[in-house]
Structure 1
Amino acid sequence: MMGLAEQTCVPCRGGVPPLESDKIAELLPQLTGWQAVDNHHLRKEYRFKNFVKALDFVNRVGALAEEQKHHPDVRLSYGEVVLEILTHKIDGLTESDFIFAAKCDALPRDEGARL
């Protein structure tokens, strides 16, 4: 079975229900350091040595988002990036959100990054 990071995000056409809490509980342990906030969205904080390293990571996430056609909410501050991921079209979580989170964790980071 392929890991989440090796899978491809599938665009949501809408009209599908968000994942149920049991499916979220099954997928969440496959991610490191992510939280399922109110079973509505995924959230993770990444820490970096400085603003430039954090910005570099945001740019990598942006390129990944365009490639996967799945776009997170991003907050950038000095030495910190916060990602929140959900499928906006259904205002909840789909399996693609977990795939995208795993792909973000697989992005190269400078040695100063902490998960």
Structure 2
Amino acid sequence: MTKLSGAEIAELLPQIPEWTVIEEEGMKRLQRIFSFSDFVEALEFSVKVGSLAEQANHHPRITTEWGRVTLTWWSHDQGGMVAADVEMAKRVDVL
């Protein structure tokens, strides 16, 4: 995995239109907030994402709150976004 350039990120973003790129700690990261009717639904979704992440050996930051889950993908090793982040976002969108 190699870190994506700004141009590569811009080219890939149309494939995942509900995701945004944020900058945090000097790194670009892919993020989306999902809304649910209660904590149980949010937690169940978080578990599904965790299973996908474990299968792919590529793990996001998952913040689970009442009625909301925030997912953030980036590569710690590469110091920013990689193609696997976009692929995982696509897989999560199918959930």
Matched with 2:76 is: 88
Q: Give per-residue Cα distances to partners, 1:85-113, cap 9 Å, x unaligned.
A: 00111110111110001111111xxxxxx
Matched with 2:6 is: 21
How many residue pairs match? The answer is 92
TM-score, length-normalised on structure 2? 0.92
Shift of residue 26 of structure 1? Answer: 0.4
Q: Give per-residue Cα distances to partners, 1:69-100, cap 9 Å, x unaligned.
A: 00000101000000000011111011111000
- Give distance in 2, aligned partners of 1:88 and 1:104: 20
TM-score, length-normalised on structure 1? 0.76
Partner SS state of residue 71, structure 2? strand
Shift of residue 32 of structure 1? Answer: 2.9
Matched with 2:59 is: 71
Question: Gapped runs of 5+ residues in structure 2?
Answer: none
Map residues 1-115 of structure 1 onto 2, 5 A cutoff: 12=1, 16=2, 18-38=3-23, 40-107=28-95
Aligned CA RMSD, in angstroms, stands at 1.1
Partner SS state of residue 89, structure 1? coil
Shift of residue 23 of structure 1? Answer: 0.5
Q: Which of these two proteins has the greater Rg computed from alpha carbons? A: 1
- Give the helix-richer structure, 1 or 2: 2
- Give the strand-richer structure, 1 or 2: 2
**1:29 aligned partner, one-letter code:** P
Partner SS state of residue 71, structure 1? coil
Percentage of identical aligned residues: 36
